[in-house]
Each structure stands twice: as C-alpha cells, then as structure tokens.
Structure 1
C-alpha cells in the first residue's frame, strides 16, 4: 500500500474514533435527549487505544515513519511528516527522533527548526516579501528559483515606530505579529540613527545570551513581581553599520556580532548552540502591575553593544567587500544568480577569523540578501546562524539610516 494511502486511512480511522470518543464523553449518542448517557468523568477514555493503529509494533511504526520522512523532501508534501507527529504522543516522540536538525538534514520541518542553525555547506534559499502599506515583512521558504512563487510561510515581522528607536517584532503567526501573541519569538530594535541594532530572542539560546534587566523583575516586599522571563530580553546579536561622515557614495559596511554563537563554531568540529523546543511565555500575559511593564519597555529602548570582554570568543560576521565594475560602473558581488536588481541593501556576510589568517571556511557566505523585484528580496543562509537570526539581520537593512547614506 502506498504511504499516502496509508496516511489517509489512518486519518480517517483516527477521525472516526475521535468523534466516537467525543460522543461518548459528552453524551451525544443515538438516544433521545431525555435518555442521554453521560460518561463518568472519573473514567478516562483514550480513543486512540481503540484504534487498530495502537497495536502496531514499535519496529514497524518506526520503519513506516522513517520511510515517510525520507520520501517527503520538501514542502508542501513535507506536511505529511508534521501530520504524523500530531497523531498521538507515541508517534510524536518517534517522529522527533527521526527528524534531524537542519544542520544535518538541511530540512525545515517544525517551527523549532527556524531557531536552529542552518545546514553545513549549503544555503537555504528563502525570500522576503515587503508590504509597504502595513509595514510588514514575510519570510518564505522558496520552493524554486522563481521569486514570485508562493512558498512555505516561515516568519512575519512588523515595524513599529518609536520616538527614539524602531522595533521589528517577529512572529510565527502570519496575521498577528504583536508581542501579546503566543507565536511571538523575538524582535529587532534600532537606535535613533538606524546605525546600531540589537536582536532579542524570546528565550535564551545558551549561557552567552545576555538578559536585559528591567524593572518588571524587581522585588516587591521581598517577592518577585513577575516570575516569568520577559520575552525578547535575551540579546543574541548586534548589527552595526559604519557611519558615512563625508557623505561619499558607496556600499554599506556592516558588522554582526553574534553574542550567542562562539567563534569556535566555524572551526572544524565546532558546534553552534541549538534550541530543542519553543517556550511560549509572555510577561504581558501575567497579571502584574501595568506601570512595571511600561517602564520595562523603556529600560532597554536604546540598544548597547557588548563590552570588549563579551566580544571575545564570539562569532563576528562582516559584509563581503564588493568590487568596482568598470564597464557597468557599479559595485558588484557574485550572488550566483539569486539577486537581479541593484540596491544599496544587497549584502553578503562572511565570518572573520578570530586569530591568524583566514581559512577556507571563513570564505563561505553565511548570509546573503538582495533585491529581485519590487518589494521582493532573496535571503539565503547556512550554518551557524538560524532562519530567525538571518531574518532579523536582513530586517536591519530595510530601516532608514540617516548617517550611513
């Protein structure tokens, strides 16, 4: 039997069983309303245990799920792998063991994949669509090289203007990109000039992620006011653009300090921190005092870069210097056909060596971003940064920079 037919049969069987379990528990049966039989609340009904799939041997179940995972290479067909993970707890655990992280498999399967490092040696091809009217940005996983292709939606961001800075909130939800949404995963914040940016993660990546202390975490009467960690308070990266004091025309010069990624990650055998699960928590959902929350938003309004001691041992990315083309009379970079429109926003980031001369691994492009059409941009990234980090860095290129151009 083909695997797709097998999955369809399982869905139909589980659907009928879930309906039967629902009818038994809440008394929706064939009897009249006056003779309904209500299930005793003390008896737990597990509808899945009544299915024929519950008796499937573990070895056979693992073999079936492994074959499904191997045959479903890309979206939208990869949704079958996600569907298998949603059958029950046992299936979910097996699927989580089978599905490898993007660093190994090169596939984006679950939402946590967007917070994990990309594959080694190959770029994940994505693209960003900008909506000028609503000031929103959408990240898609490109299914092919066509820039107008409706690929797999990954992330959404929205720009919010502040008196002294600009915020970009990043969410897993397409429509609701607010911090109060449970799909909120981080933000990008700029300074007044638009030359320095800080990337905040809603949950700590590792011990290197610095937590911004706010007044919402003060002690009141020797008790913690808000026991939850404020979302977006973990600094994971800093992006800075070099000031153009003389006003000369030329490409931007940018540098990214990845506070959560050690420089040793680029060495042979090096590893980058990998998150294993998404934690959904928001300080705004906690019934705390409102003035504490309002003050906490002002406490980190101006991002400050890491100190020299904190810079030591962290990965630093710099934009690859373009070359001047005499015939075209413009600055050029080799994007391997992924960028078709000249723009000051286009860039490529490479790793800088911590000590000594640059090695071949430092010549690889970690992140490239470029324009391909009106309000359409490509974004390609690879190990050791994640899709979330790459998206946040690319958002900094959209912001207005008074002193850089």
Structure 2
C-alpha cells in the first residue's frame, strides 16, 4: 500500500472514530474541526471515553513505528502535517508511538501538537508567522506562515481578545478563535497591562516546568467554582514582564521596551545552555490545587517569619533572561528611524521592533548571540503584522510580547 493510499484510508477511518457513543462523536468532531483550524489539544483521553479499536490498532509495534515515522518525515508543513495529528488520534497505541517520535520545535523545527506553542523555537531559522488584527471584534489571530494566503486557510496557532478594564487592559490568549473563556480548556494564558499601558505582565495557565522559575513566579489563586474541573486551568502564573520607557519630554525616537522572562534563565543563550521545555499541558485540578496550597503555605511561612526578622529576598538559581529592543539608526534621506527586517516588514510603524538579549560580559555570552534577533515584529499591511521568533522564546511568549505593542501608550510616544 502506498503512503498516499494509507493516508487516505487513515482519514476515512478517522471519520468513523468515536461513533460508539454521543460523547465520543462530539469529541471526534471537535478534534477534526480544530485540527483544520489550529493545532489539536494534547490531552490524554479519559478512561470513560470509548475509543474504537480497529484493524490498525493490532499492527506490530515495529511496523507501526516505521509507518508513523515515515508519515512524520514526509509531512513537514501545514496543512499536510495534520496527518500526523490524525495518526495520534487513532487509538492509544498510535498516540503513544506518535508522541515518542515527535520532537520539540528546537530539535526538529516543526510545530505539531499544541504543547509546541509553549516550547522554545528553533535555534537556527526562526519560525515565521503573521498576526491578523480585527478592529471590530478586538481580536488578534496568530497564523503560521510567511504571508496570508488567498483562500484564508492558514494555520491558526493562537488567538487573543482585548478586554478593557477600569485599571488597564487584558489580552486573553486561547487556542481557539471563538472561545476566550478562562473556564475553557482552550485557555492558555493572558497579558495584563497597567493603567498607562507602560507595564505588562505575562501569565501562563500552567506552572513553569523549572522549579527555580516556579519559585519566583507569582500565581493568582483566585478561581471560580465552574473552573474546578479535571481539565480546566484554575490559576495564572506570572512568567514575564514587559516595560516601556516613558517619554515625558516627547523627544524624537521610537518606543523603548524591556522584557524580563522570569522562566527563562540567561544561561539558556550561553554555549551548551538549555531553556525550560514543558512536555504536556497541565489540566489536572489536583496539580493546580497542590501548587496553590504549596504557595499558600510558603506565603504563611513568610508572614510568620517576617514577625521575627525581615523577610529575605527570593533568590533564583540563575538570573532571568532580559530582552531589549534593538536600537534603530536614523536615516537622513528618509528622515526616519530604520531597522533591517530582512524584507519581513514593509510599512513604517511605531509598533515595529526587534528584541535582542541584554547581557553583560560577566554572563560569558558570545557577541553573535548578543546581536541575534530573538523576536521581531512589524507591519506589512492594514491590520497585518509579521512575527518571527527564535529560541529561547516560545510562540506563546512571543505572541504575548507582540500583543503589548497593540495597546495604547500615550505616555511613551
């Protein structure tokens, strides 16, 4: 059987999965629809869900491993890469082998499951994406690809919705473009600004995988009763801050910004360094409650200790990575500030920026790493912006940083 015939039969078989029960049918339809619109959820099936075991589930493990490896190697880009997701949705044995074969974006330079959006990007060639802004609905859609396609069937990665509050602005980030509820399993995090729009905090829906970063990240322990669900996030963990420099004197020049990534150590950009890489989404309420209670116990211990002596400062095992915007040069003929976006930005805008690592000589970081653009963002058309990000940032972190540029900042311009 040829590979194309196998994939075609796999698609037909996928259409029949879950027809045993009504719940299975709804889950199967949800998987197929979300696979075409965005990356399917990386969730283990519940023991209560019935999964049909067809003839493909009885393949020898060696043969199955070879088949899925060939499919993974042949389908390198979206939308064809949805076939790899189909393989993982056949049954438990197929899913286990598929997850064993799939590597992280840093290793293979590909996006497959939704957890890839929380993992660091590739070290060499950046992931090239674009953001489409909808002013009417205050939504921002992150797509994977160079530029928007004519048929509008681009690969949706993340979506965000701006919600104005009395004290600032929130950008709710989700896996789906039509569901921005914090009580949904599609919720992945948010970006919150202060009143002036000069400082932003990035919140993740799951705790950092690095224990040192988890100790220094502040979690929001407020959750609604409807959020107490086995597959619903109940907390927000602070993973980064973004600060824009005030421009009180109204001097000529672009915005100046600084990003502190609390969960990424500065050693990640050193030779041989690694960045924290989560392996799966945490949807268990037990994990969230345990982290909440641990944080509450730590806070109580600190409050008790403060009555005896001054509270010690929280210490990290490693310093956090700091990003700063690359300084542009003034072009005398064009009478404007310019940056080399290598053709990825075509329209002048105050929102355009490039971020590089802000390190000193004591960190032993090479000059090449210091000058490498980790994240660049810029305008290419009306409500269309490009976003290219490198290791050690993830798609979620890069998207959150770019969203901060859309907020109104009268005190910075």
- TM above 0.5, yes or no, is yes
> Contact conserved, 1:202 with 1:233, CA < 8 A, in 2?
yes
> Contact conserved, 1:140 with 1:155, CA < 8 A, in 2?
yes
Structure 1 segment 18-33 matched on structure 2, within 5 A: none
Consecutive unaligned residues of structure 1, counting only runs of 5 or more, are 24-43, 218-225, 287-306
> Contact conserved, 1:231 with 1:281, CA < 8 A, in 2?
no
In the alignment, structure 1 residue 136 sits paired with structure 2 residue 139: yes
Moved more, 260-269 or 353-362: 353-362
SS at match of 1:6: helix
Closer, same or farther: CA 11–22 of 1 in aligned 2, 3 Å: farther
For residue 60 of structure 1, report the CA deviation from its aligned partner. 1.0
Q: Deviations over 1:48-91 (max 9, x none)?
A: 1xx33233221111111101000001000000000000001110
> Contact conserved, 2:175 with 2:187, CA < 8 A, in 1?
yes
- For the residues of structure 1 that align with 2:202 and 2:11, how far apart are their CA atoms? 41
Question: For residue 87 of structure 2, what is the aligned residue in structure 1?
Answer: 84
In the alignment, structure 1 residue 262 sits paired with structure 2 residue 268: no
Question: For residue 326 of structure 2, what is the aligned residue in structure 1?
Answer: 320
Question: For residue 187 of structure 1, what is the aligned residue in structure 2?
Answer: 190
- For the residues of structure 2 that align with 1:177 and 1:334, how far apart are their CA atoms? 35
Question: For residue 375 of structure 2, what is the aligned residue in structure 1?
Answer: 367
Question: For residue 352 of structure 2, what is the aligned residue in structure 1?
Answer: 346
SS at match of 1:398: coil
Structure 1 segment 3-402 matched on structure 2, within 5 A: 3-13=3-13, 47-48=52-53, 51-142=54-145, 144-145=146-147, 150-205=153-208, 206-207=210-211, 208-209=213-214, 210-212=216-218, 216=222, 231-280=234-283, 313-356=319-362, 359-402=367-410
Question: For residue 221 of structure 1, what is the aligned residue in structure 2?
Answer: none
> Contact conserved, 1:261 with 1:273, CA < 8 A, in 2?
yes
Question: For residue 26 of structure 1, what is the aligned residue in structure 2?
Answer: none
SS at match of 1:113: helix
> Contact conserved, 2:10 with 2:86, CA < 8 A, in 1?
no
Consecutive unaligned residues of structure 2, counting only runs of 5 or more, are 23-48, 290-312
Moved more, 61-70 or 351-360: 351-360
The total of aligned residue pairs comes to 352
Query: Which has the larger Rg?
Result: 1
SS at match of 2:374: strand
SS at match of 2:182: coil
Closer, same or farther: CA 15–78 of 1 in aligned 2, 3 Å: closer
User: What TM-score, normalized to structure 2?
Assistant: 0.79
SS at match of 1:318: strand
- For the residues of structure 2 that align with 1:161 and 1:282, how far apart are their CA atoms? 29
For residue 173 of structure 1, report the CA deviation from its aligned partner. 1.1
User: What TM-score, normalized to structure 1?
Assistant: 0.80
> Contact conserved, 2:119 with 2:394, CA < 8 A, in 1?
yes
CA RMSD of aligned residues (A): 2.9
